[in-house]
Amino acid sequence: MKAFYKKGIFVLMFLHVFCLYAQTDFNKLDEKGKKHGVWKGFYEESKRPRYEGTFEHGKEVGIFNFYDDTKAKSIIATREFNAKDNSAYTIFYDQNKNKVSEGKVVNKLFEGQWKYYHQASKNIMTTEHYVNGKLEGLRTVFYLSGKIAEEISYKSNLKNGFYKKYTEKGILLEESMFKNNIYSGLAVFSDTNGNVVSKGQFVNGKKSGIWQFFEKGKLVKETNMSFPGNATKSKNN
C-alpha cells in the first residue's frame, strides 16, 4: 500500500512538472538572445492571447495568428511569412470570420496588389497596388454586384492621371484628370442617363476658362470660370 502511495505521489509530481513546463515552453531565446521557437503575445490588461507564431533564430516563419481581446479569441488577422523575399501575406478578418482585406507586406510596408471586401461578403470592394508602401497605378472600386464604380490612377500615393466614375449600369458619370491629388485638365460630368451636364478645364484644382453647361444634352450656358461674375453667355445670346 505504501509503495502504491509513493508511486502515486511520484506520478502527480511528474505531471505537475510536465504541465508547468508545457505552460512555459514558449517565448524563449536562442544562445544569441534572439527569439526562437513558439512565441505568444498577450493583451496588457486582460492578459488574453494577442498573437502566436514561430521564430527561427529571430526571424518569423510560417503562419502567425492574431486574436481579438475577447473570451472568444477570434482570429482577426493572419500573416504567412516567406523567408525568400522577407514578405508576409496578410489577411484581416472581422469577428465573424469574414475577410476584410488581404495582401502582401514587405518590411512592414504594403507591396503589390491589395484587395478589400464588401462588409460580410466575399465580393471585392476595392483593388489597389502598392510599391514600397505607397499607392501606385490603378485603384478600382466595385459595386457589390461586381460592376466597376470608380477607376483612378495613382503615383507615389497621390492621384495622378485619369479618374472615371460609373453608375452600376455602367454609365459614365465623370471623366476627369488629376495631378498631385487635385483636379487638372479636362473634366466631363454627366447625369445618370449619360447626358453631359457640364465640361471644362481645371487648373490647380479650380475651374478655369470657358465651361459649358447642358440640359438634356443641349448646351444652355457658357461661363468663363476665370471671371464667372461677368462673363456668362446663354444659348440665346
Indicate whether 208 pLDDT > 60: yes
CB 143 within 8 A of CB 149: yes
Instruction: Label residue 100 left, alpha or beta by phi (over 0 means left) and psi (-120 to 50 means alpha).
Output: alpha
- Whole-angstrom Cα distance, residue 137 to residue 85? 22
Indicate whether 9 pLDDT > 60: no
CB 78 within 8 A of CB 66: yes
pLDDT in tens, 152-169: 999 999 999 999 999 999
User: Which residues, in sequence order, are CB contacts of 52 under 8 Å at separation 6+?
Assistant: 38, 39, 40, 41, 64, 65, 67
- What's the pLDDT score for residue 229? 66
pLDDT in tens, 68-111: 999 999 999 999 999 888 899 999 999 999 999 999 999 999 99
pLDDT in tens, 103-134: 999 999 999 999 999 999 999 999 999 999 99
- What's the pLDDT score for residue 6? 45
Q: What is the DSSP letter of 70?
A: S
Q: Residue 217 is placed in which grid cell?
A: 444634352
- Whole-angstrom Cα distance, residue 130 to residue 40? 30
- What's the pLDDT score for residue 227? 86
SS3 helix, strand, coil % of the chain, rounded to 5?
10, 55, 35
